Amino acid sequence: MNGRRDSFEIELVLQRSKELIGMGLEAENAALLRKARTDHPESIELCLQTAIAVSTDAPEEADELLRTAARLADSDPNLLTRCANLMLSLGALNDAEAVIKSIGGLAPQGGFILEWEFVHHMGRLALLREEFETAEQALSAAFRANPAAPEFGEELARLYKHLGRADDALAVIDEALEHNPDDRYLARVRHEVLESSDSPD
């Protein structure tokens, strides 16, 4: 098969996958993606989407798929960031740490944004390991460097909420919302903080 045909077939699979997810057909979606992975073993997107699809029923398979995706991504910081995000979400902290460090190695040539993505991910990793002081240092540094990145504000606010620092959490969220007024995730975190602290809106 040539590259164009491969890309076309993968796009069709991903489109069908979205349809199956929309219909709540999770098992059928996982089967579709697994078959496509066999046909297109070098597709990073299929690795990532299959990992998501099987993560609940087959977490070890999902972990292996994410390691494969990270290997295939090699030195692409955007793809490696997606791998790290999924690894953190699935609790594969050691794998995530290795990928995050590889992102850090790319940061000098990747510029300002990539550098703070690295710091942010190190903060997330520390937070999941309950290393709260380290997490605060990294997450707050990333947010101060780039408050317009909504995920930076969201993660820092969630940390402050967890630590019972509602005023700090609200200050971060409000600053982040100034840059992203329509971000529903930031708005949801703000609502959660207000509910948990019984603060007046």
Same domain as 168, residue 87: no
Distance CA 27, CA 143 (A): 39
Asked if 142 and 114 touch (Cβ cutoff 8 Å), the reply is no
Q: CATH code at 41?
A: 1.25.40.10
Report the candidate in 134, 139, 130, 146 with the shortest Cα–Cα distance to residue 168: 139
Residues 156 and 101 in one domain: no
Q: Residue 28: what pLDDT?
A: 96
Q: What's the pLDDT tens digit per position in 123-134?
A: 999 999 999 999
- For the chain, residues with pLDDT lower than 50 are 1, 112, 199, 201
**How far apart, in whole angstroms, are the C-alpha atoms of residue 137 and residue 118?**
13
Q: HSE on the CB side for 186, CA within 13 Å?
A: 22
3-state secondary structure of 47: helix
Which token pair is 174?
């409000």
The total number of structural domains in the chain stands at: 2
